[in-house]
Amino acid sequence: MTDPSGSRGSRPPTMKEIAERAGVHVSTVSRVLRQAEPVDGGSEAAKRVREVADELGYRPNLWAASLRTRRTTTIGAVMPRLTDGVVATIYQGVEQAAREAGYSVLLSSPPDDPDGQREAIALLAGRQVDGLILSSLHSPAAEFVSDLALPVPAVALNRHADAGLPFAGGDDRLGGRLAARHLVDCGYRRIAAVGGPLFATTGHDRLAGFLYEMHDAGVAVPTGRIAHARMDVQGGIDAARTLLTGDDRPDAVFCVSDTMAIGLLGVARDLGLSIPDDLGLVGYNDIPVAAQLPVPLTTVVTPAHAIGAAGVRLLLGMITGTDDAPADVRLPVELAVRGSTRG
């Protein structure tokens, strides 16, 4: 027998998939599954939606009725990569701000992929939460969020200000500009940059700010000195092997994460390069180990704890109705100058 869910595997169906199978609009599916129409009877469209939802294995929100009538003082947080120090610190900000406001937090840390995030969001939305904190959404974020048809208010954190949700994060373009200006002021001129993968909009914004400031300073950064890699130690190693072994070796590198910079630092050491004389290096985030490296890392400080707290404040304003159209929050960043540049 053919699996009616197609290639979805074990993940629950989206409202968009149910709508397509039932031949109705997504808003109709949302209304029916929120029990805005009678469970017994209702329109033919509603009956069809319930039949298709059953066929596809939709898990109903058992608390939907109570969500419409009362608050539970509980919010859900979906935060992939919780082992990452920055993400963990953001969560600490979420948990503290929620606790101080009298709310508890249900946390899910799914795999950093669309299916994992989708399932985690669906499960939390069905657990009597008043709202959702969604960290590190996947691209294209606006389409991803639209498919979810979220039944409660939600706020995006740290990645994808373009998700169509209120957003809280650091001013990453400013951070990139601070890094560029510092390297120029230190006298470096053959400057390279390592950006993140395309789905990581934080890395994109940091690189964009960096390149804008370099252009403004009149220092060229040719495409051959721009690498893209995963925002982890291995990504830094891979980028270093490209940037540091060619004929046009840079005299400084900006990495859009500290973990990238650590990987690059190891390759530079293996090549016998002196930091900061042969190679200046700037990272991003100021993870705890950055200041404890053999050559302490100059880096842009991300206000991770404050980002989490700001996201909760945005969400609570939506839940309580005191802020129906909350403005995005871009928190200021600063540069911590250490031994990896000629500060």
Over its length of 343 residues, how does the chain's per-residue pLDDT go in tens digits?
344 444 455 567 877 888 888 898 877 887 777 554 444 445 788 888 888 888 887 765 544 444 444 678 899 999 988 888 899 999 999 999 999 999 999 999 988 788 888 888 888 888 889 999 998 776 666 677 777 778 889 998 877 656 678 899 999 999 999 999 999 999 999 999 999 876 667 888 999 999 999 999 999 999 999 999 988 999 999 999 999 998 889 999 999 999 999 999 999 999 999 999 999 999 999 999 999 999 999 999 999 999 999 999 999 999 888 766 678 899 999 999 999 999 6
Task: Output phi, psi for 154, to 5 deg.
Answer: -145, 155
Strand 334-336 with 298-301, pairing: antiparallel
Fold: same for 72-170+305-333 and 172-302: yes
Q: Which fold has domain 72-170+305-333?
A: Rossmann fold (3.40.50)
> The tokens of 61 are what?
């929100």
Under CATH, which number does the domain 172-302 receive? 3.40.50.2300
| The two structure tokens encoding residue 57 | 């294995």
pLDDT at 2: 40
Nearest Cα neighbor of 85 from 304, 251, 294, 260 is: 304
Enumerate the domain spans of the chain: 15-55, 72-170+305-333, 172-302
| pLDDT given at position 125 | 83
